[in-house]
Structure 1
């Protein structure tokens, strides 16, 4: 018998295909150009925002009709749908895509020449005459806009996201008499304790914080990164004011830190305290279950990324607010000696990138729509209706989205000490987390598990990275040699596109780490 999940998947795909066929087959009036774009953002009022932008664009450009194609599921349904459409030659003119997904150069065309030109829809604004690239808050340095592996600009991005603690305004006032969320860590713990007492006194099923297996990482990585600023500073041997997780993994193998280092032990105690104030059993609960707890009044607060928070505005029968997790600062009596703030949330990097179909017959119109979408007028419509962050310089976020504005000022070393080398190490650290938060869990149990196995998975990740780096270098050398040997005699190759010195140095460093035993 077919599994229910497969039936649902097949039904969703057939419905999406029918929608595409109907729109593709619809007649187009003489002289009118129809462009289509696909996307998977079904949260909140994002679709309504896109429709408002389409309506305004069509008023300005009556010869162009814009159709939006919604396909849910991100990489579970949407990605296979896109791949099928692109291979079959029926792909939309613009496609929301992700840089890490396959076949970018096969499906899409670079837009290097376009991003250096001014956006005509910004005439009469402070961005008039400014290169399109420079009107984006991150300068199109994000991994979707500029795909480093291909050395080309490919996508135009329209928003950015950050997680926050969302809270029930009415419940906060009922429990505490206050209308503003806690401003520091001790006040946060006090609020959680007060909430527990209130629930017990009134016989309520009420947790201070709703969290799930899908959302805890948003807070976990931030806690570790902020609490370990002192350790990161000590490990910054090159004085670059930045440590990556991969570099932290190398420092671990060299014996410069461990999960017994006092700073790390303190950070793990912070994580343990987070679990103590969260919904019991949250490691087994889904994102939807945690949101349901919050919407139905079974939690005062919830860990929510901004893309979900906009949906809560529609779902909640009460007013909601949002605030950043209050990390302990230098004056904290327990954790202050390990950290140094204020804490940055890193550089703003935008997403929701739209890529230009390599085979589109309406390149000019598709690019023109993207220009309006990311103009000050288009971005203002987007944030005011969707309550998501705008990606265009000079556009103020909506009042609700403003609560999710990323904090870029302060200290941010980059490493979370919970990602390390990547796939194996990341999965190992997270699969063992039940020993910290599960029933009977403790910091000591988690440390024992990590100390027993993390070195092996770090080395396995490094072996894979070293092998991939070596193979890439060999391929680049072969391509460079071919360009020299096959170049016409009267037009010899001017330069060899070899691997950078930094890539080669990284490869040798990884080999050295693998060859040496870990220092204790």
Structure 2
């Protein structure tokens, strides 16, 4: 017996060893196969953070088409989650193991592009070879085949273009059409800001009423508990509160609302304060000038109108929205837990697809064996059965399967919903036509006990940001419509570590012909970036509006300045309702003059500190110009030498031009409380620095 047992153990050991050997040989085979592929083929790796529905499929299609015409090339797509993307790319760049093509974003682009990426200016100034059969584009520089001529890809400080985009986008408001019909009793999209806020208020009131009813019921249950129900872990049937909020927001898109509505109210004033007529207040000097001469104050009514409008909207955001991530708010919307969400065209496919894939809801086919075809007929038949004290049996169509359930009504109730615990609506289905569907289900009800399934699927609508109407609170301060400056997105750069830069450029050129860019964006359902590529019908509402004002004011220098940081710290308590507008302004008035003094000093110092680098850059281009060996190199170095001189002149004139601009205010620093506080701090900062 013992010998037989040992023999069995020995056989099992050999079998285990054989399995291990097979796995080991398989692993070796895979490694050798990959090695051979790398030897036989040029391998390009590409990484991005676009995990939206369809993007990876679209990129796979481009890769498949490219590899079909370039059999010696293999392209590997590496999707990385948005939360980890910046850290992952940084690690890869520092370790010199980065992919050939990297989607630009999630890191300090100004710092990284010059250090780790290849300039693409020379290639972008030449025609795209894949457009040779297109009579409209065959002789057009590659950069000019894009709708924005790749303006966002140019880095002024580096004098070069560094990336190529795949799409363009715009931001709109998505809404749940079923919530409109069920709660608001309308199909009409809000056209004015007051209509939009009124819709939000109605939804909020509806939820408050439902939650009050649930709370009242739960309190009654808790008051009448039996002794055994008070025992630990005893099951209790309590009603759940409605998870619905008017607007699914997050800590990212609050700035979308702020930028859009500040532009609506302040864009005209923005242009008035642009004293050098360059279309921008970007470095803060003109903003500071406006504060010092009184053209802009903290009490400006246009600023109040824009900021308070966003605060009015924030009252309808989900609680704790400052800590909610973008993907989490999107999930809440597609789950039917929010009526509205603000997002871009890049989320349209995901939202519409996920919303339409939710459960359709139980369709009632028959009541007590009698076929029914409408909600009214069902309610009438079920109410008659209650009056006759008959049992009620329902035949349901649940996701294509027919099931029968029994439902026991509550006695002594006046309304259908109270009696059975659910609501119905006649909803049109593409296959079944108009059918009666269970749309809402009460927790702790006969419907829940019967296991009925409510409708979760809904149709998504899209509309532009509503503007204040003539009777709205801040209508008199409106500047006008806002122009959308849409630059190409999902832009890829090529790393300096790439061993196959020419192939990487060739792949980008292949992807950005009108035909291929249209195909790519048809799959992902985004807006194309290339001229003559057509937008699909679903995305027509997202087509950028180029007519209107551009630019918006703010109470800070913007960017990574000290004043922007302080303004943001004060803005969050204000927008979340912890402080009111009066307190918000009080905090800004006490802090921003000093913070702007730091930012003003930083402008002067950074301009001076940057000059040696700019002069070195000019010397490099001068050397390239003198020692160029071909006409192409001579022309390129000549162009960059001229541009580098322009940059040096700009930086050289920052200090003298700024001193001349602010000389009258330095001569009279006590003119206003703002200027007094500003110059006191600036003098202290300068003394400490000197």
TM-score, normalised on structure 1? 0.83
**Does residue 339 in structure 1 map to residue 339 in structure 2?**
no
Distance 1:201 1:156, change over 3 A: same
Look up the match of 2:352: 313
Runs of 4 or more off by more than 6 Å in structure 1? 21-24, 481-489, 493-496
Contact 2:44–2:99 (CA under 8 A) maintained in structure 1: yes
Contact 1:221–1:418 (CA under 8 A) maintained in structure 2: no
Look up the match of 2:386: none
1:79 pairs with one of 66, 74, 89? 89
CA shift, 1:405, in A, is: 2.6
- 1:243-285 superposed Cα distances (whole Å, 9 cap, x missing partner): 4472324422443212212222222321221122222332343
Look up the match of 1:206: 244
CA shift, 1:217, in A, is: 0.8
Contact 1:216–1:303 (CA under 8 A) maintained in structure 2: no
Look up the match of 2:67: 58
Contact 2:258–2:306 (CA under 8 A) maintained in structure 1: no
Of stretches 167-176 and 23-32 in structure 1, the one that deviates more from structure 2 is: 23-32
Between the aligned partners of 1:176 and 1:467, the Cα distance in structure 2 is: 57
Look up the match of 1:9: none
Look up the match of 1:96: 103
CA shift, 1:392, in A, is: 0.7
- Of the two structures, which has the highest relative contact order with CA contacts closer than 8 Å and spacing of 6 or more? 1
Distance 1:322 1:253, change over 3 A: farther
Look up the match of 2:190: 182
Secondary structure of 2:473 counterpart: coil
Look up the match of 2:269: 231
CA shift, 1:325, in A, is: 1.5
Secondary structure of 2:505 counterpart: helix
Larger Rg: 2
Of stretches 479-488 and 414-423 in structure 1, the one that deviates more from structure 2 is: 479-488
CA shift, 1:156, in A, is: 1.3
Look up the match of 1:502: 650
Secondary structure of 1:36 counterpart: strand
Look up the match of 1:130: 140
Distance 1:102 1:243, change over 3 A: closer
Look up the match of 1:258: 297
For the aligned residue pairs, the C-alpha RMSD in angstroms reads 3.3
Contact 2:614–2:648 (CA under 8 A) maintained in structure 1: no
Distance 1:49 1:488, change over 3 A: closer
Secondary structure of 2:468 counterpart: coil
CA shift, 1:355, in A, is: 1.8
Contact 1:38–1:68 (CA under 8 A) maintained in structure 2: yes
Distance 1:134 1:487, change over 3 A: closer
Contact 2:270–2:552 (CA under 8 A) maintained in structure 1: yes
Contact 2:189–2:463 (CA under 8 A) maintained in structure 1: yes
Between the aligned partners of 1:232 and 1:357, the Cα distance in structure 2 is: 38
Secondary structure of 2:157 counterpart: coil
CA shift, 1:314, in A, is: 4.0
Between the aligned partners of 1:173 and 1:312, the Cα distance in structure 2 is: 19
Look up the match of 1:196: 204
Look up the match of 1:16: none
Contact 2:246–2:339 (CA under 8 A) maintained in structure 1: yes
Between the aligned partners of 1:506 and 1:258, the Cα distance in structure 2 is: 25
CA shift, 1:208, in A, is: 1.6
In structure 1, runs of 5+ residues without a counterpart are 1-20
